[in-house]
Amino acid sequence: MSNTSLDFREGIIRKRLDKINRTILVTSGKGGVGKSMVAATMAASMAKFDMKVGLLDADIYGPSSAFIFRVKDLPREDRHGLLPPVSNGVKVMSLDLFAAGKPFPISGKGARQIIKELLTITEWGDLDFLIVDTPPGTGDVLMTLIKILGDMSSSIVVTLPTVLSTSVVRRVIELLLSSQIPVLGVLENMSYMASSKTRPLQSSEGKSLAAEFGVKFLGELPIDYEASKTADAGDMQSLLKTEFAKALLTSSEKMKLFTT
């Protein structure tokens, strides 16, 4: 594919994103930290506050947004592009909607092309927020998103309260800051038990990580079995009533996300 065609696609993408007030990249250093759950719950919370929200599942190696929202419909085509299906007030676009649950091998170059195609063909319309669930780490997809969305995006970094998790996520923060992507803050997940307030991991590294880079510490999210249970059941409205969702709402208010 020629550089001309790549530039042409990026021009289309920017025109589409001109209708979006704010784009937020939800990032992490490694998998298994609950990043996708954070992105989905944040999007649903915003929609509940009558905001116009889209969720792009850019974690193409392990897309889960369509499952969390129990999206059944395929994107609908019109003359402007593909219209994302809506669930719980959130427009959801995910590669998983096209894969029908089947495995799909993706190379590094293929990953970059898939992200560009999703951004090119998706007609989000007017949005207050586009939440982007990125793959963990600093690979090709995040680099592509930074290149295309960089000057119109900010970011959130999700980590666990362990030294191992923060040592990996440090590289993500360094990449974001060196790429001039504002980091709204560090969010520490699985910090304590929702039921007992005890700390099974017996550490809390997120606050010191945030201080190291001079960014906000957005708070701690609990290990909440009720949140996991409602997410597994596809019951987003019940999920929004859990301690996990309430703690995330408090963190979102620290970022002033409910002031568009």
pLDDT digits (tens, 9 = 90+) for 38-49: 999 999 999 999
**Residue carrying the six token digits 């930074």:** 146
Spatial distance between the Cα atoms of 57 and 213, rounded to a whole number of angstroms:
27
Give the model's pLDDT for residue 103. 64
Percentage of the chain modeled with pLDDT above 90: 73
Give the strand pairing for 153-159 and 76-78. unpaired
Q: What is the mean pLDDT of residues 139-163?
A: 93
**Cβ-proximal residues to 52 (8 Å cutoff; 6+ apart), any chain:** 125, 126, 127, 128, 129
Neighbours of 7 (CB within 10 A): 9
Closest CA relative to residue 190, chosen from 169, 174, 214, 206: 206
Confidence of residue 101 (pLDDT cuts 50, 70, 90): low
Give the model's pLDDT for residue 100. 67
Confidence of residue 154 (pLDDT cuts 50, 70, 90): very high
**Residue carrying the six token digits 């994302």:** 84
pLDDT digit string (tens) for 207-229? 999 999 999 999 999 999 999 99
Spatial distance between the Cα atoms of 38 and 26, rounded to a whole number of angstroms:
8
Q: Is 100 helix (H, G, I), strand (E, B) or coil?
A: coil
Confidence of residue 5 (pLDDT cuts 50, 70, 90): very low
Give the model's pLDDT for residue 150. 85
Q: What is the mean pLDDT of residues 46-54?
A: 96
Give the strand pairing for 76-78 and 20-28. unpaired
Give the model's pLDDT for residue 163. 86
- pTM for this one? 0.92
Confidence of residue 256 (pLDDT cuts 50, 70, 90): confident
Q: What is the mean pLDDT of residues 122-141?
A: 96
Exposure string of 62-99, with b = 16+ CB inside 10 Å and e = fewer, is ebbbbbbbebeeebeeeeebbbbbebbbbbbbbbbbbe
103 half-sphere exposure, CB direction, 13 A CA radius: 1
Give the model's pLDDT for residue 4. 46
Confidence of residue 7 (pLDDT cuts 50, 70, 90): low
Neighbours of 259 (CB within 10 A): 6
Domain boundaries, the chain: 3-254
Give me the helices (H) in the chain, please: 3-17, 35-48, 65-68, 96-99, 108-121, 140-149, 163-178, 206-213, 225-232, 236-239, 243-254
Picking from 5-19, 33-47, 61-75, 244-258, which range would have the lowest pLDDT averaged per residue? Answer: 5-19
Residue 168 vs residue 134, higher pLDDT: 134
Give the model's pLDDT for residue 2. 45
pLDDT at 88 over 50: yes
Percentage of the chain modeled with pLDDT above 70: 93
Confidence of residue 125 (pLDDT cuts 50, 70, 90): very high
Residue 212 phi/psi, 5-degree rounding, is -60, -35
Give the model's pLDDT for residue 199. 85
Number of continuous H segments (helices) and E segments (strands) in the chain? 11, 10
Q: What is the mean pLDDT of residues 97-110?
A: 73
Burial class (CB in 10 A: 0-12, 13-18, 19+), 126: exposed
**Residue carrying the six token digits 């998790």:** 165
pLDDT at 118 over 80: yes
3-254: CATH topology: Rossmann fold (3.40.50)
